[in-house]
Amino acid sequence: MTIVTLRVNGASHEVDIDPATPLLYVLRNDLELRGPRFGCGLGQCGVCTIIVDGAAVRSCTIPASQVSGEITTLEGLSTNGMLDPLQQAWIDEQVPQCGYCQNGQIMTAKALLNQNPNPTDIEIRTGMEGALCRCMTYYRIQAAIKRVVQGAVVSATPETDQGADV
């Protein structure tokens, strides 16, 4: 076991792990984050995607000890209680069905827009190609990204429920 230091969502964490442990399990089980999830463990589906120094990384295949940059997870996308415009667009377009893949969709889109704030429809399709959804919410995902690109999103504070607190 080795002490590994990770910088995640603005905070620094030390974990004592086998250095070969894929980052995904450290994020989920040691840091108790819930955004990145296990989908394939093979780098094929994107469900485990996080952002390291602005770029999308698949946390299921990268050893935790090899990540030295600033990690952002889905939980870290909102700032000062304001949802990221992508998250707001996801709500506006009512994107998810089950939602299990949506971490991968949102984080992949975030990294895409980091690199190319004005992607064409084709660039959205190709940029998102590796993020799989088995509920087939792709059409709405693309619509949500286009909303953000067109600047048509007004971010709100994270909505906890439209129902009563009971």
Partner 1 sequence: MSKTLQLPKIIEDALLQANPSTSRRNFLKSSGALILSVGVNSIPGGKVLAQTTDSGPYTDPDFLQLDTWIVIHPDNTASFFVGKTDGGQGTGTAFRQMMCDELDIAYDKTNLVMGSTDTTPDQGGSGGSDGVERDGWPMRRVAAEARRVLLGLASDYLEIPITELVVSNAIITSNNDPSKIVTYAELIGGRTFNVSLTGENVNATSGVANVKPVSDLNVIGQSIQRYDIPAKVDGSLIWAVDVKLPGMVHARNVRPPLVGATLRSIDESSVADTPGLIRVVSRGNYVAVVCEREEQAISAARQLQVDWAAPSEAPFPASDDLFDYMRSATIAANSASDITGDPDSALEAAEHLIEAEYEVPYQGHTAIGPAHALADPSDGQMTIYSNDIKSYGLRRGVAKFLGIAKEQVRVIYMDGPQVYGRTAADDAGFEAAFLAHELGRPVRVQWMRDEETAWDTKGPAYTFKLRGGLDRQGKLVALEYAARAADYNHLGYNQADTVLIAQLMGIRPSEPAKGRSVTPSIKYAIANQRMTADIVSLPLIWGTPLRTGNLRDPNGPQVTFAFESFIDELAAVASADPVQFRLDLLTSSDEDDLLRRARSIATLNAAAESFGWETRPSPNPQISEPGSPFVTGRGLGYTFRNGTVVALIAEVEVNRTTGHIWVKRLVCGHDCGLVINPAGLSHTVECGILHGLSRALWEEVQFDTKKIKSVDWVSHPSLRHSDIPETIEIVQVNGDPNPDRPDLPHYGAGEASHKPVIAAVANAIYDATGVRLRRPPFRKERVLAAIHAQT
- Contacts with ligand FES by CB under 6 A lie at 38-41, 43-48, 58, 60, 96-102, 133-135, 137
Query: In terms of CB distance, is 31 or 70 closer to partner 1?
Result: 31
Stretch that binds partner 1, among 49-57, 124-132, 147-155 (CB under 8 A): 124-132
The answer to whether 12 and 6 are in contact (CB under 8 A) is: yes
Residue 147: which of partner 1, ligand FES, none does it interact with, CB under 5 to 8 A by kind? none
Query: In terms of CB distance, is 25 or 56 closer to partner 1?
Result: 25
Amino acid at site 34: R
What lies within 8 Å, CB to CB, of 151 at 6+ separation is: none
CA distance 144 to 147: 5
User: Do the strands 70-72 and 49-52 form a parallel or antiparallel pair, or are they unpaired?
Assistant: antiparallel
Kindly state the tokens that stand for 41. 């463990």
4 binding partner 1? (CB under 8 A): no
CA distance 4 to 27: 12
101 binding partner 1? (CB under 8 A): yes
Q: How far is the CB of 141 from ligand FES (least distance, A)?
A: 9
What lies within 8 Å, CB to CB, of 138 at 6+ separation is: 128
How many residues can be counted in the chain?
166
Residues forming contacts to partner 1 in the complex (CB under 8 A) are: 1, 15-18, 21-22, 25, 28-30, 32-35, 37-42, 44-45, 47, 73-75, 77-78, 83, 87, 90-91, 94-103, 106, 124-126, 128-129, 131-142, 158-166
